[in-house]
Each structure stands twice: as C-alpha cells, then as structure tokens.
Amino acid sequence: EPQSRSTKELGGVVRENDTVRCSHGSRCFGLWEKRPGGEIQPVKQGCWPHVGSQQECHSDRCQITAPPSQIQNGNYRFCCCSRDLCNTYFTEAPHTQSLQREETALIALLTVAIAAVVIIALFLGHRMMRGLADVGSVSVCWQLIGRGRYGTVFRGCLHERCVAVKLFSSANRQNYVNERSIYSLPLLQQHDNIAHFLSADERKTADGRPEFLIVMDFYPHGCLSRYLSVHTVDWSTCCRMNHGVTRGLAFLHTELNRGDQYKPAVAHRDVTSRNILVRADLSCVLADFGLSMRLTGSRPCCPVDNDTMAISEVGTVRYMAPEVLGGALNLRDCEAALKQVDVYALGLLYWETFRRCSELFPGEAVPEYQLAFQAELGNHPSFEEMQILVAREKFRPRFPEAWKENSLVLRSLKETMEDCWDQDAEARLTAQCAEERLCELALWWSNKSCRPTA
C-alpha cells in the first residue's frame, strides 16, 4: 500500500517532503537545524520574494558556500536558490580559507535572515511558508500533505480558498485522465458525498517533462484512516461517516437520466479508508477515481483480449474481494461483478470504523485503530498472502470480544458487515441496501433497549 515517506540523509544533505514551488521572480529558501545526535531536520522551506540582485540566489542548487562557523546561527543552516523544488536538498561546498567582501556582506544578510525566520517560526508555530505556482489562470500556493500510489497531494489556496492539489507525473497520466473524466460526469458534482472537483490542468516542469494537476476542495481532517488512527468517535458520528461513504457509493453505482443529463453507472474499484475524505463536520466523501470504470453508456466494461487483467486485478490488495484474489471475477456480468467488489471493500470499511466507536465498548477501552487484516498480515500484505487468507481460507476480520453481547444493534451491525463481505459475490448487499441498513441502525440506537450494555 502507498505510504507517505520522508527521506533524510546525513553528511550535509537533507531531503524532506515539505518542499515548495515559487512564482517567477521569487526564490526558494531553506532553513535546517542540526539536532542532538547529528540528525538534520528542516525548520522552514518557502519563498523569498525580495531577493534583489543577490547572485547567490540564482543558482539551481541550494548550496551553502561559506564556512559553517560564519553561516550558522547555533546549529542552523540557510540557503537559497531559483529552480522549482530546489530547496528540497541543501549541500555544503568545500570551505575556503578567505572570503571576499561580497561574501562577507552575504553572510551578514543571511544571519539577519536566519534570526528573522526563527522568530517567525516561533510566532507562527512552525507553519510552512508556501510558494506560488500557476495552475491554468489561477494562482495556487503549495504545501505537501501526502503521497499516494499515483499522485502527490498538496494543500494550497485558490483565491483565498483552501484547496487540495493532486499532482500526477507523466508516468501516471492515464490515472489523471481517468480521474478527470469521472469527476466531469454530469450530476456527479451535485452529490454531497462525492469529493468536490474544481479544475484540472496539464503543464511542463522546469526540465520539460509533462505533469498533470487536479484541484479539489480541501478536507481538513484528511483521509478516514488517518482520522480514525488518532480519534475515537461516538455512535452518531460513526453512522454519519459510514452513511456518507455508502450513500456516495450507491450514487456512483446508479445509472441516471435527468432531463438532458446522463450519468452512467460507475464502479470505484479502489474503495479504501485512504480514499475516503473527512469534512470539518466529520461527514465523509468518496474520492480518488483514478481506477474507476464506467459500467454503462457508450463505454461499458466488456473485456477485450488483454483488457481482462486490467479489469479484474485492480485496486489495493488489502481490500480486494476473494473473487479478484482468486481470479474468478464474473466478467460475463461485469457491471454487477465490479459493484460487488466495491461492496466487499465497504464491509471492511465498516469494520475499521465501528471498531473506533466508543459507545460500542461500554466500560472498557476502545481498541487501537487497525486496517482490515492488519493483525494477521501486518502493514504490507502481498497479493499471495491475501489470496491464501481471504480467497482460500475464507477468513474475515474478527469482531471484538465486546461485540459478543446480543443486543439488536450489534447483531444487525455484524450481519451488515457479513452481508457486504460474503464469500459469494452474488449474495452481497447492494450499496443501496447497505445504505438502508445504516439508516435503520441509526434509528434503533434511539431505543436504549437495543443498545449494548456494560
């Protein structure tokens, strides 16, 4: 599974995810601190818009040329440069025995700049300064917030509005094209549980390579797995989260004709807790449509020759249905089969989310957050491991001991999960039926006799 990573190297070179892009005319700068033990960490990376005529900032590398004793403030190192993302790294050139007057002046200037930056950092609580780049005709400022399998996600501002910018490399162009086409379907952006798409753009990097951008609303709590890893939720919030995801998936699966607008049925094909985003009010939206497929309309999902593999073995391994893992996906009824694959993953999402519901564990501690099958296969299960566990052994995530109590709510909740992840794909609930089940669960909770007790 894709993981966000930082890479740090000693010996005078540091790489950190929080890099920036700067608009024409400004320069990138970086400030690093050497911590006890020798580890070097970035303190600030951003744009310096008033560099005047200092030639040292026109280099395409963020290089420190003065002796450390003169350029440091304590254990800090500072450099500036002119190319996009050039402040990802800094290097220390070989030290010279003497400095020209111009270099001495630069050292003084940098020392003052370091002091100013440190003061600002303390005042703003180490908030990242952000650079500027152009996306089409709009100005967007960038701060890296995550990396995925097919793209890198930045937080930014668009006309003073907070947005998320998903950046695809040229190698992932097809995922960009697919995601953009799904977001552009009629009626999709009118639904409250589909991530809100703003714009898309194609452009060239500084070295001439193409890159692709999708701009969306910013969701402050990030993805569902990240939120649940640090928060528990009450019953009402848990139901609202899962109902939003299910409602969004049911809408995606539905073919609609409204006047002159037509929306085909769509399979998501990568339903995971990383692809669910959490709003400020803790409701959820479905996102990341780079692997999605239209099931009806002018491009139905009938496999042709080599397309069979592309249709069947797609998605995140942890959430793959048994028929996908076992190579037994029913491609004779591709539309139904791919919807059933989505619903299987939905059942795993329910398990992950309701395990963090505080009211389902009365009188005891709520378990730590776990991904489905994490206890059995760890953080990075292989396709073969999942195939053996899920397809052959028909294993599913275990319910907590606290859920053995025979209350109406718990019985119905467990049955809903089991009916979503059934080994027989045709026996699974539809997304529409799962949505109805969640509505019933929310209503039953109002009757205290239906709830679990300590």
CATH of the domain at 156: 3.30.200.20
In this predicted structure, the answer to whether residue 262 has a pLDDT above a threshold of 70 is yes
| pLDDT at residue 95, rounded to an integer | 46
Instruction: List the single range of 28-32, 101-105, 348-352, 360-364 with lowest mean pLDDT.
Output: 101-105
Under 8 Å between Cβ of 175 and 151: yes
| pLDDT at residue 143, rounded to an integer | 79
- Domain enclosing residue 183, as ranges: 131-217
Q: 27-36, 96-105, 316-325: which has the highest mean pLDDT? A: 316-325
Q: Is residue 428 part of a domain?
A: yes
Under 8 Å between Cβ of 156 and 163: yes
Q: Is residue 2 part of a domain?
A: no
Beta bridge partners of 64: 92
In this predicted structure, the answer to whether residue 276 has a pLDDT above a threshold of 70 is yes
Under 8 Å between Cβ of 334 and 302: yes
| pLDDT at residue 427, rounded to an integer | 97
Higher pLDDT, 53 or 428: 428
Q: Is residue 57 part of a domain?
A: yes
CATH code (residue 371): 1.10.510.10
Domain boundary among 97, 124, 151: 124
CA distances from residue 144 to 25, 27, 46 in whole angstroms, order as listed: 22, 18, 12
In this predicted structure, the answer to whether residue 288 has a pLDDT above a threshold of 60 is yes
| pLDDT at residue 138, rounded to an integer | 45
Residues belonging to the binding site for ATP are 166
Higher pLDDT, 131 or 90: 90
Shared domain check, 207 and 137: yes
Under 8 Å between Cβ of 354 and 400: no
Shared domain check, 150 and 295: no
- Exposure class string for 303-314: b at 16+ Cβ within 10 A, else e: eeeeeeeebbeb
Shared domain check, 234 and 109: no
User: Domain tally for the chain?
Assistant: 3
In this predicted structure, the answer to whether residue 30 has a pLDDT above a threshold of 60 is yes
Between CA 138 and CA 132 the distance in angstroms is: 10
Q: 14-18, 70-74, 136-140, 307-311: which has the highest mean pLDDT? A: 307-311
Q: What is the percent of the chain where pLDDT is above 70?
A: 73
Domain boundary among 217, 252, 282: 217
In this predicted structure, the answer to whether residue 60 has a pLDDT above a threshold of 80 is no
What mean pLDDT comes out for the span 178-191? 95
CA distances from residue 133 to 9, 171, 172 in whole angstroms, order as listed: 28, 21, 21
What mean pLDDT comes out for the span 49-60? 59
| pLDDT at residue 83, rounded to an integer | 76
What mean pLDDT comes out for the span 44-65? 66
Higher pLDDT, 42 or 235: 235
In this predicted structure, the answer to whether residue 172 has a pLDDT above a threshold of 70 is yes
Domain boundary among 63, 89, 124: 124
Shared domain check, 277 and 416: yes
Shared domain check, 83 and 169: no
Residues belonging to the binding site are 166
| pLDDT at residue 317, rounded to an integer | 96
CA distances from residue 377 to 22, 211, 374, 380, 388 in whole angstroms, order as listed: 43, 35, 5, 7, 11
- Residue 125, number of CB atoms within 10 A of its CB: 6
pLDDT classification of 261: cutoffs 50, 70, 90: very high
CA distances from residue 177 to 150, 173, 181, 376 in whole angstroms, order as listed: 12, 6, 6, 36
| pLDDT at residue 135, rounded to an integer | 52
Q: Is residue 11 part of a domain?
A: no
- Residue 408, number of CB atoms within 10 A of its CB: 15
Q: Is residue 361 part of a domain?
A: yes
| pLDDT at residue 28, rounded to an integer | 81
In this predicted structure, the answer to whether residue 237 has a pLDDT above a threshold of 90 is yes
Cα 95 to chain centroid distance, Å, stands at 42
Instruction: List the single range of 2-11, 53-62, 119-128, 133-142 with lowest mean pLDDT.
Output: 2-11
pLDDT classification of 301: cutoffs 50, 70, 90: low
Per the listing, tokens 């069947």 go with: 312
- Enter the tokens of residue 271: 């339903």
Q: Is residue 172 part of a domain?
A: yes
Higher pLDDT, 392 or 39: 392
**DSSP letter string over 323-365?**
HHHTT---GGGHHHHHHHHHHHHHHHHHHHHHTTBGGGSTTSP
Q: How many helices (H) and strands (E) does the chain have?
A: 12, 17
User: pLDDT, tens digit, for every residue of 391-445?
Assistant: 999 999 999 999 998 888 999 999 999 999 999 999 999 999 999 999 999 888 7
Shared domain check, 276 and 400: yes
Shared domain check, 229 and 213: no
pLDDT classification of 141: cutoffs 50, 70, 90: low
- Residue 341, number of CB atoms within 10 A of its CB: 27
In this predicted structure, the answer to whether residue 2 has a pLDDT above a threshold of 80 is no
DSSP conformational letter for 127: P
Known catalytic residues are 270
**DSSP letter string over 24-56?**
TT-EEEEEEEE-TTS-EEEEEEEEES--TT-GG
CATH code (residue 35): 2.10.60
pLDDT classification of 340: cutoffs 50, 70, 90: very high
Shared domain check, 179 and 61: no
Shared domain check, 164 and 42: no
Shared domain check, 155 and 95: no
| pLDDT at residue 192, rounded to an integer | 96
Q: Is residue 253 part of a domain?
A: yes
378: Cβ–Cβ under 8 A, 6 or more apart, which residues?
none
User: pLDDT, tens digit, for every residue of 194-227?
Assistant: 999 999 999 888 888 899 999 999 999 999 999 9
In this predicted structure, the answer to whether residue 127 has a pLDDT above a threshold of 90 is no
| pLDDT at residue 80, rounded to an integer | 82
Higher pLDDT, 192 or 115: 192
Shared domain check, 401 and 289: yes
The mean pLDDT of the chain is 81
Shared domain check, 290 and 411: yes
User: pLDDT, tens digit, for every residue of 75-101?
Assistant: 778 888 877 777 776 776 554 444 445
Between CA 322 and CA 428 the distance in angstroms is: 12
| pLDDT at residue 93, rounded to an integer | 58
- Enter the tokens of residue 345: 């993953």
Q: Is residue 338 part of a domain?
A: yes
